[in-house]
Structures are given as C-alpha cells and as structure tokens.
Amino acid sequence: MGKLIVRRRNPRNSGFTLVEVVVALTLLSLVLLGLVGALRNFGQTSVRLEAQTLAADDLRLVSGLLQRTMARTSSRTWKDPSTQAVRTWFAGGPEGLVWLGHLPVRHGVGGLNHLRLFVSNTRSPSDERRYLALQLTPYAGDDSPPDWGALESLVLLDDIESLQLQYQSLGETGWLDVWDEPAVLPGFVRVMITVRGRSWPPLVVRLEQAELQPESQTVAKPAVRRK
C-alpha cells in the first residue's frame, strides 16, 4: 500500500496579502467618501429648505402688512404752505413711498399713521447691504410732513437687491413709475421685490379710497343756459 502523504499548510500563508489589504482599504475609503458626500448634501438641502421656508414666511408677513396698510390709505388732504396747493399725503416714486394709512391695533400703533417704505443701507457705516425699511409715526391732524430723518426705521427684509414701485390710475391700463397727481390717490400700487436673487410675485394693492376726491378740489361747473 502507498503511503498517505498529508501536507500541512504553512501558517504564514493563511493571512491577506498586501494587495488585498490595499484594495480593501481603497474600497472602504470610497464608501466613506460617498457617505460623507451624502451627509453634506443632506445638510445643504436642509439649509436650503429652511432658507426657503423663512423666505416664504417673510413674503407672507411683509406682503400682508403692506397689503393691509396700503389698501386702507387715507384720502385726507393738507395744504402745502410753499405752493398753497391742496394735496393728499400720498407720494410715490420708483423706490420709495409715503402715505397716510390705517394700522391694525395689534401692531401697537393702531389707527392713522404716516408711513414711509424705502430701501436703506444705513444700518452701519461698513454695511453695504440694502434693506427694505419702514418708518411710521402717528397722525395727529398734522399740517406738514413728518421729519423722516428723525424717526427710527423698522427693517422688514434683509439683503434687498431691488425694490420697484409702480402706480396705476383707476380706469387706466398703464403703470407709472412716479405718481405725480398730488390731489388724487392712485387706484393701484404694484410692489416688486427681489431678495437674494429671488424675485417675489408682484404684490398689487387696490386703494379703497382711490375713487374719493378731496372736497376742496371739487370745482362747480357753470350752468349752461339753453336758448
């Protein structure tokens, strides 16, 4: 009978080779890099969603405030001492607007108030950003405009890129960049705002008292005699 030969395996050859270890480490590194990238993207997505949510909240709050206060713009008039002309408190330009409006009591200064909407970059001397700001002061039968330079500003929105205001008369279709009818309110005001590269949907406000003409501006027409 032949002899049964049993070969013993060398214990030194039972481990992984250097090439196998390098390949395993490379694959593990790729997996870890993929996980880190996925976590980073998840974090960035969460930040973007949070920023979009905050922007939507800002849009809702600011739009609601402007809608309420502009819609209830008062048609009260005052006499300009320099020209003796009777005019409303409404004066609008392409990037700024002053008006006499009703504020809800929940804002702490309810009732008739002088309001000014404008773009400001004066929060600090080194700050180059632009802000959508609002100034207000109670109306007390004034006979001259407020001293806006002495009033504090309430910042409504940060990082404003542009503010565009336009005005439309009742019965008209075109929009004006400047409202130059001092004794008459416009029928509509359109507010367009761009914040951080995002243009908000235009806000169009219908002024409730636009059709009311100041009594002092009513001119009686002479009677026409029939022959």
| Tens-place pLDDT, residues 154-170 | 888 888 888 999 999 98
pLDDT band at 2 (very low <50, low <70, confident <90, very high): low
Residue 63's pLDDT is: 87
Q: What is the mean pLDDT of residues 49-78?
A: 78
Task: Kindly indicate the confidence band of residue 74, based on its pLDDT and cuts at 50, 70 and 90.
Answer: very high
d(CA 210, CA 74): 9
pLDDT recorded at residue 76:
92
Other CB atoms within 10 Å distance of the CB of residue 218: 8
Backbone phi, psi, residue 74, to 5°: -85, 145
DSSP conformation letters of 46-77: HHHHHHHHHHHHHHHHHHHHHHHHHHTB---E
Confidence of residue 224 (pLDDT cuts 50, 70, 90): very low
Confidence of residue 141 (pLDDT cuts 50, 70, 90): confident
Structure tokens at 139: 């109306």
Give mean pLDDT, residues 211-225: 43
- What are the backbone dihedrals phi and psi of residue 187, each rounded to the nearest 5 degrees, phi first? -80, -35
* pTM of the predicted protein model: 0.67
